[in-house]
Structure formats: structure tokens, C-alpha cells
Structure 1
Amino acid sequence: MNQYDLNLILNPNLSAEQVQIEKDYIETALKNVGAEVSNLDDLGNRRLAYQVGKDREGYYLMYTIKAGGNPEKDIASSLRLRDHVRRVLVVKDRPEWKTKKA
């Protein structure tokens, strides 16, 4: 199984309940493609580098997942269909990209 980073930006105007509904949907979608969640970093609302639609902020979720095969397109296409998802980025994690501490 390969390790991937899944970065999502959600609508910044979501309530805590709506964010939890989106998280549950994301985890279900990941299980449907055979991926398992290793870690979730919930960064909350942050300012965007550029405007997306009418929003200058976004609700950031960063998942570390393990999946076999090549799940990038399956994951991204299923998550982009959600109304509250603004951006989806799936990147294969590589050990050589990690910074080494001296």
C-alpha cells in the first residue's frame, strides 16, 4: 500500500455539524475506494492565497491515507461532486520529500 496526502478546502461558512457531516462523507468515500485514514489534521478556517469563487477563506482538512493501486482520480472525482468542497489535491507521499533534521 502506498501513502498519500489528501488536502481538501471546504466552504468556510460551514457549522461544526456540517463540517462533521463532510468529514464522515470523506471517510466513507475513502473506504469505498479501499483507502484507510492514517492521520487527519483539521486546520480550520484559513485565508486563501487567492479567491476561490466568492470566498477569501477556506476550511482546511489534511488527511494522510494508505491505499493500494492508483486511487488519485477515484478519490478526487468522488469528492469534487460535493457542494461544500472547494478544492481537492491528492499527492503520493514520498520519503525523500521529508526534511531531515540534523
Structure 2
Amino acid sequence: MNNYETVFILTPVLSDVQMKETVEKFKNLLTEQGAEIVNEEDWGLRKLAYNIDKKTTGFYTFLEFKADPSVIEKLEINFRRDERVIRFLTVKQDKFAYEYALKRRNNKGGKKKEADPSSAESKKRKDNVQVSESEQPELTINEMED
């Protein structure tokens, strides 16, 4: 079994219920064919980079799964036949992509590093500095005309 990831874009005219039903349809198709779904991410309604069928947005869904190569052919045939899918891409993960995906999944809920409080204070000081009138450079007549 190989590791795969697929992203598909659903038409934006679907309701949330219809969108979830469509995603479930493809997940069930994978599991019926013996695939193991490793990760699922709903990226929500996003703007498309360019218009597809006169649509500017779409519902993005990302799936990672383990499956035999024959499953991919059946999955893509179903993507092509379903009118609700406007684009899809399925990629076989190599070992480096698999390791990266594993790290990304494990770090998904992790905390972001907090900034050093002393550096935050120094930024505040720089922003609040006021220049007195005596320190401001004088403008000559030529500089004022420009």
C-alpha cells in the first residue's frame, strides 16, 4: 500500500450539508476499496486563483490515505463523474513528503513560540519615541519646493 494525498474543490453553490455528504461519499468510496484514511482536513470556502466554470470560490477538502494504486483510478473516475467536483489533484507521497506530513499533523495543535517579553518592550519604546523640535532637521527652500 502506498501513501497518497488528494485535494478536491467542490462547487460553492452547495450547502454545508451537501458539501459534507459529498466528502463522506468519497471517504466511503476509499474505505470500501480497502484504503485507510490517515488524515482529513476541511479547508473551507476559499477563493480560487482563477475562475473555474465562472466560479471564484470553492470548498477545499484535503485527504491523506493509504491505498493500492488501483483505488486511485476508481477515485479519480468518480471525481470526474461528479458534477459537484470542479477540480482535484491526487499525489503519491514519497518518503520525504510522508515524513513532512507526519510532522505537520503532529504539530497541528502545538503552541506557537511566544516572543521574548524584553524584545516586545523594546519595540514599544521605539514606537513611542518622540522627536523634539530642536532635533528635527531644518528644510531649505529647495527641499520644500520638491
Task: State whether TM-score is above 0.5.
Answer: yes
Identity %: 32
Count of aligned pairs between the two proteins: 100
Aligned pairs for 1:7-86 within 5 A: 7-86=7-86
User: Greater share of strand residues, 1 or 2?
Assistant: 1
| Deviations, residues 51-92 of structure 1 (Å, cap 9, x unaligned) | 110101111000001102343322111122111111111100
The structure with the larger Rg is: 2
TM-score w.r.t. length of structure 1: 0.86
Q: Distance in 1 between matches of 2:47 and 2:74?
A: 28
Structure of greater relative contact order (alpha carbons < 8 Å, 6+ residues apart): 1
Where does structure 1 differ by over 3 angstroms across 4 or more consecutive aligned residues? 97-100
SS at match of 2:18: helix
TM-score w.r.t. length of structure 2: 0.62
Q: Distance in 2 between matches of 1:90 and 1:70?
A: 13
Give unmatched runs, 5+ long, in structure 2: 104-146
RMSD: 1.8
Give unmatched runs, 5+ long, in structure 1: none
Q: Distance in 2 between matches of 1:79 and 1:29?
A: 11
Q: Distance in 2 between matches of 1:8 and 1:72?
A: 13
Please tell me whether the aligned partners of residues 45 and 58 of structure 1 are also in contact (alpha carbons under 8 angstroms). yes
